A and B are shown apart, each in its own frame.
Chain A
Amino acid sequence: MPGYYNTQHLTDFGKIADVTPELGKKFFDYYASVFADGALTAREKSLIALAVAHAVQCPYCIDAYTQDCQQKGADFEQMTEALHVAVAIRGGASLVHGMQMREQVQKLGM
């Protein structure tokens, strides 16, 4: 194995359906429906995907949705703001756990 991440994996992603075509088809059909224009526009969904991609730290998704956001008409500033939403939630999620720490400190301390 050459390593853990390979850009070719993204290009070849569709091959994941080879072994279980029925499950693969269900997943990719569902995926396509999720990202279609709906109550949210395809551009808004792409910006959410970009933010989530950073939160789950998936390099494939970051590449894919950086391109997709640009193609859907989002600009650098909008994409960077979306990224900060992920950053704020990740940071906030850590910080809000501090409330548990506070409770323990207050309970155990004098």
Chain B
Amino acid sequence: MNTTALSLRKVSEDLVNDRGTPRADRTLRRRCSPLASTAEQLRVLAAVPLEKQSARVEFETLAGELRPTELEIFQVNVGKLCNMTCRHCHVDAGPDRTDAVMSDEIIDQVIAAIGRTRAHTVDITGGAPELHPRFRDLVEAAVTASKHVMDRCNLTVLLLPRNKGLIDWFAERKVEIVASLPHHRRPNTDAQRGQGVFDRSIEAMRLLNAAGYGRGDPGRRLTLVSNPAGAFLGASQATAEREWRQSLEREHGITFDRLFVLNNMPISRFLDWLQQSGNLHAYMHKLVQAFNPAAVAGLMCRNTLSVGWDGRLYDCDFNQMLDLQIAMPEGAHISSFNEESWHARSIVTARHCFGCTAGAGSSCGGQTA
């Protein structure tokens, strides 16, 4: 058994014994939901009648063929293990997901690829990536390769005893914290992420502020990521950022550097919620009606490589969660990654892509139009 597998046992024991982190839901996998299968998710999406101005539409009808620009973001999803189980999770992450965690072998292949890539940013996500036993090795390797490192953080994970000292460790390495917080007030945040998550998120942000994060220092950047707590689109990012600043500062004395506003993708647990709540058709209709051609140019799939926990490659984290692999001639695995054929490929799209082109657009870097 390798390092990761051994330590993983301890991590999952800690999560089982963690009574502090609230949980809103259970994973689709644990519930044995039909939607735990990506084929079933694609089938459900394909069955929704989609039309615009009385004509049937698909994503490709409106957006055309998507081609890459330059490779800027090297995004690594280290696995689906998470201390939380939010209702809208597009990963179906949770404390029980030890089945989908990056192995030592793949971590080493990823580290080697980071040393070769021209991408300027390494974006680490999950699950809660900080729970991966070799998370710090990965960050260290990216820092050594002079990459800007982004940690996609759920905030509450920073309060776990096993992560004591992690914030200072990040600060020393200028790691950007990209933290999920659905809303600047308690009700919507707790509705999506679990009762009590808002208060724990505030506590974590206080620690980040105390370590110099969120105070305008480019080496200690705190980016917040909001997504709607329901079947509607995200607010205007610029306006929301002003309102969030006022509210978080006034109510909690908390500051941050920037806000990304994302839409929820109709996949995985959000798809399940849409179905259960009877909102699926109306939400898909809303996404299609709100299709914004101006949002297409800035889509993340055009400048991002997405690496899955098993080393397979994708155009984005959402395609990854639907098992829609990248279209490259060498095959789609990090061990054989070739940046030239990344440039030459076409991006794989399907109906869920309407989530990224609705309204002001939505990508890992926030709104795109």
Contact = CB atoms under 8 A, between A and B. Distances in A.
A68 B228 CA distance: 12
Contacts of A42: 236, 239
B228 A70 contact: yes
B183 A43 contact: no
**SS class, residues of chain A in contact with chain B:** helix
Interface stretch (A72-80, A82-90, A95-103): A72-80
B252 interface: no
**SS class, residues of chain B in contact with chain A:** loop
Contacts of A77: 185, 187
A37 B236 contact: yes
Contacts of B240: 73
Given A67-B232, A70-B232, A71-B233, A43 B239 contact: yes
A71 to B, nearest CB: 4
A42 B185 CA distance: 18
B249 interface: no
B98 interface: no
B243 interface: yes
Contacts of A76: 187-188
Given A75-B185, A77-B187, A70 B230 contact: yes
Contact of B242 (A41, A70, A71, A78): A41
A76 B239 CA distance: 19
A32 to B, nearest CB: 14
A66 to B, nearest CB: 10
Interface size range on A against B: 10 to 19
Given A67-B232, A70-B228, A70-B230, A37 B239 contact: yes
A15 B206 CA distance: 52
B145 interface: no
B235 A73 contact: yes
A43 B237 CA distance: 12
Nearest to B236: A42
A75 B232 contact: no
B358 to A, nearest CB: 11
A43 B185 contact: no
Nearest to A37: B239
B147 to A, nearest CB: 33
A72 B242 CA distance: 13
A75 B188 contact: yes
A94 to B, nearest CB: 32
A41 B243 contact: yes
Given A70-B230, A71-B228, A73-B243, A43 B235 contact: yes
B187 A71 contact: no
Contacts of B188: 75-76
Contacts of A71: 228, 232-235
10 contacts: A37-B236, A37-B239, A43-B239, A70-B232, A71-B232, A72-B239, A73-B183, A75-B188, A76-B188, A77-B185
Interface of B: 183, 185, 187-188, 226, 228, 230, 232-236, 239-240, 242-243
What are the 10 tightest A-B residue pairs by CB atom distance, in nearest-first order? A73-B235, A71-B232, A70-B232, A75-B187, A75-B188, A72-B235, A73-B240, A41-B239, A71-B233, A37-B239
Given A67-B232, A77-B187, 4 more contacts: A70-B232, A71-B232, A71-B234, A76-B187
